Structure 1
Amino acid sequence: MKINGNEIKPGNVIEHNGGLWVAVKCNAVKPGKGGAFNQVELKNLIDGTKLNERFRSSETVERVRLEQKDFQYLYEQDDALVFMDTETYEQLELQKDFVGDRAAFLQDGMMVTVEMHEEKPIGVTLPDQVVLQIAEADPVVKGQTAASSYKPAVLENGVRIMVPPFIESGEKVLVDTNEIAYIRRAD
């Protein structure tokens, strides 16, 4: 679907310079001289590179609609992660580095959303929060104030996070998978 350059909004996916880009920030500029333009910060969906581009209202760009499908995480095999389409039961293998740091948060049977463009996966979205057990946590240092101090801890998946002083080994905590940060104790 073609849209004008001044209609690009944050979150839009566009086809530009032969690649797929998501608009991160947009700023409408109306200079004293010359025509108005939209200053757009773009991020490449495939390799993550960033680009600043000016789009005039007279220019048109191709807006891309991504298909989102639900997949279930099955298992890890060498450097690949295996997912299953919950409707067709077809399996999809993605490289670990395609998912990135958040691959450590995948759990057996976890539902994820895979964004596809022309049947090719271009992104994986995990649940925003997961419950994990603290494998080890440093002991509390006497005299430390609870208000501002966090201590390092290691989750059962090997990821290091900072937790409040009252959290101990063996406790289950809720973790934000986007920020890789402690939220609260799990119920």
Structure 2
Amino acid sequence: MATTADIRNGVVLRIDGQLWNVVEFQHVKPGKGGAFVRTKLKNVVTGKTVDRTYNAGAKIEIENVDRRDYTYLYTDGDGFVFMDTEDYDQITVPAETVGDAKNFMLENQQVTIAMNNGQPLYLDLPASVVLEVTYTEPGLQGDRSSAGTKPATVETGYELQVPLFLETGTKIKVDTRSGDYLGRVND
């Protein structure tokens, strides 16, 4: 069993049956009283963030999380099929685990999947992806400034706000964390 001395950024802890990722930690030794460890933890499944304090030397349970590279192949019912890039094994990840990442995934895209005891926990996508606009209203003449935005649908079916001058068929860069338009991509 590990102690608080083993806490590092990126370590996954099991607390009350749930997995929590250590985002920040700080060992504190006040002038009076015992030392303690202050942590900021993020729930691996829900994304909820909490602050938690441990006494120095307290026992904690560290979980082994394996992060591997996979290639997204296709959707099968309400599951997503991925292929391991090393041994070509295929796994099906449930839609609940994939979550909003489905809005930014195209076939043959590389993703990192975090696994714990053979169970997929979450997906890590690249910071941004290039997607093609499949539908947007045409911009009016004179709407060439960056002042306004309009809705656009990209090839994954995701809808986002883009500048007025963009047209259907334009390739754009999209932030996978926030879903925001980052810029136009020239071929």
Q: Same fold (TM over 0.5)?
A: yes
Q: Secondary structure at the match of 2:34?
A: coil
Structure 1 residues 26 and 142: alpha-carbon distance in aligned structure 2, compared to 1, 3 A threshold: farther
1:73–1:109 contact (8 Å) kept in structure 2: yes
- The within-5 A match list for 1:170-181 is 170-181=169-180
* Root-mean-square deviation over aligned CA pairs: 2.7
Q: Report the counterpart of residue 138 of structure 1 in structure 2.
A: 137
User: Once the 2 structures are TM-superposed, how far is the Cα of residue 94 of structure 1 from its aligned partner?
Assistant: 0.9
Question: Counterpart of 2:39?
Answer: 40
The structural deviation recorded for 1:144 is 6.5
In 1: Cα distance, 2:50 partner to 2:170 partner: 43
SS in 1 for 2:75: strand
Q: Aligned partner of 1:128: which letter? A: A
Cα deviation for residue 146 of structure 1 reads: 2.8
Deviations 1:43-91 (A, max 9, x none): 2213444443211222132333421212111111110111112222221
Distance in 1, matches of 2:10 and 2:145, equals: 39
| TM-score for the superposition, normalised by structure 2 | 0.82
- Partner Cα distance (1:117, 1:59) in 2: 24
The 3-state SS of whatever aligns with 1:104 is: helix
The residue type paired with residue 61 of structure 2 is E
**Residue pair 1:10, 1:23 contacting (<8 A) in 2 also:** yes
Q: CA deviation at 1:41?
A: 2.9
Instruction: Look up the match of 2:62.
Output: 63
Tell me the matched-pair count. 186
Report sequence identity in percent.
35
The TM-score with structure 1 as length reference comes to 0.82
Q: Summarize the Cα distance change of 1:58–1:87 in structure 2 as closer, same or farther, 3 Å threshold.
A: closer
**Aligned-pair CA distance for 1:28:** 5.5
> What is the rounded CA distance, in whole Å, between the counterparts of 1:131 and 1:148 in structure 2?
23
Gap regions ≥5 residues in structure 2: none
5+ residue gaps, structure 1: none
Residues 106 and 156 in structure 2, CA contact (< 8 A), matched pair in contact too: no
CA distance in 1, matches of 2:129, 2:76: 22
The question of 1:77 aligning with 2:76 is answered: yes
